[in-house]
Structure 1
């Protein structure tokens, strides 16, 4: 696994990749770029176990959303337009003119909207767990889902974050919870700017403008798996797959299977365009 930073108008954008040769060299061979966007309030580290496998058939570029992981925070008030354009900023920086776009949860909204912002430019789009909210769910989340935490002298805020993570993923062992807490801490006390952006956004607009996506991916043990049927109904797609037993962290917990699923989608498209 390798990493680096790009200099954007709002600050540094951190990314992770893999492969034996420099990223630009691999792209020059004709391998497709795969720009990967993560769920909030986590980071591109959630893809680190899959990057080497992905590098066998594409050039993975896992991006820390601005304000998360190692990327600098953006100005206040960013919208889904702004977050989606990060995918194109990264692709353009590496000269990846027709990249694949991948997104998980919050990142899935950004990936879909990125495709909508430049219709027909992405080679393909894969969405893993699309959060499709009802109006009541959207209002509830805006009201109470992600309140900011404040550091306290006795470290009680660390317990609050720990308990929040564990309540969302009660199956997680202490080492995994610790790793997720690290991402929460990197996001800062207000870890919800990207959440608010998608809660204010009408996903129907993105779905209509984006056109057909290559794959809607879900897991039977995914925390938002119940939304998969809504995504299938809302978003035009070539294929929809539910992986038995897969959680929110499919790429991390079963990287071989994750890479196999993406390879089956990405490689045939490359052969068609060869």
Structure 2
């Protein structure tokens, strides 16, 4: 059974999902502008193997909305407070896209907390590439009087590769519409983060995964070259790999975590 609850932080409450199990816990951090819902299929597939937590980043899902324009370091701090509140001292991390950015910073800055780091869609962009991405992934789809923003949001999600899966399309549309401001806030932080510096500094065991249809796949080989020690896995799908290739992730992730439970 997947349960839902809230963790307290100094800035507000963070919503999370949890499935029970024994052993070293796995913490999942979602992409923008999804929520912990994107890990439900994976959590079900791994039920009972270990405790699994999936958190809604502040500004998304059921979590509090941050004020101003936080840096990614602020988000990492809030998440660590949430981890502390639920008793997560040392854990494996799995991050997807923005979740990978948060995960790699936590792993680099808090090596005593992280047993291993797995990333779906690592983000090893140059400063120039981050600037270019910011032109396409940033400006909020703010509510308007005639509701046109809803069609804009629907089309944006569709273009990310939901295909014919209307349940996936609807879920991601609802999450993105809810997080119209959270998306803008956190993407501003993502494009300012030096992912590569944290990626090089992370001392824990690393695993990187990506699908050919993922917007970050063109940078996957660079991620391999920057960290040849990272276990690299090619998945199926687009930007929604946990739904589109759940078996592929399980086949790679489960043995990786088991090998590094003692890290």
2:42 is aligned to: 50
Partner of 1:7: 8
After superposition, residues 1-274 of structure 1 pair within 5 angstroms as 1-19=2-20, 26=21, 29=22, 31-169=23-161, 171-189=163-181, 191-235=183-227, 237-243=229-235, 245-270=236-261
Whether the aligned pair in 2 keeps the contact of 1:212 and 1:238 (CA below 8 Å) is no
Aligned mates of 1:62, 1:145 — CA distance in 2: 24
User: What's the secondary structure of 2:234's corresponding residue?
Assistant: strand
> C-alpha displacement at 1:220, in angstroms?
2.6
Could you give the per-residue CA deviations for residues 98-119 of structure 1, whole angstroms, max 9, x where no partner exists? Answer: 2001100011010010011112
Query: What TM-score do the two structures reach when normalised by structure 2?
Result: 0.91
CA distance in 1, matches of 2:99, 2:147: 30
Distance (Å, rounded) in 2 between the aligned partners of 1:94 and 1:170:
33
Q: Deviations over 1:37-57 (max 9, x none)?
A: 000011110001111232322
Q: Distance in 2 between matches of 1:206 and 1:36?
A: 18
Local SS of the residue matching 1:125: strand
| 3-state DSSP of counterpart to 1:114 | helix
Distance 1:98 1:189, change over 3 A: closer
How many angstroms apart in 1 are the aligned matches of 2:259 and 2:132?
Answer: 42
**CA–CA separation in structure 2 for the residues paired with 1:143 and 1:222:** 18
- 8 Å Cα contact 1:147/1:190 also seen in 2: no
Alpha-carbon RMSD across the aligned residues, in angstroms, is: 2.1
1:216·1:237 contact (CA, 8 Å) conserved in 2? no
Shift of 1:190: 5.6
C-alpha distance 128-157 of structure 1, shift in aligned 2 (>3 A) = same
Count of residue pairs brought into register by the alignment: 262
- For structure 1, the 5+ residue unaligned runs are 20-25
Q: 3-state SS of the aligned residue for 1:154?
A: coil
CA contact (8 A) 1:17 1:59 kept: yes
Q: For the structure 1 residues 82 and 235, does the alpha-carbon distance in structure 2 shift closer, same or farther, using more than 3 Å as the test?
A: farther
Q: Deviations over 1:122-160 (max 9, x none)?
A: 111111111222333212233453212232232211111
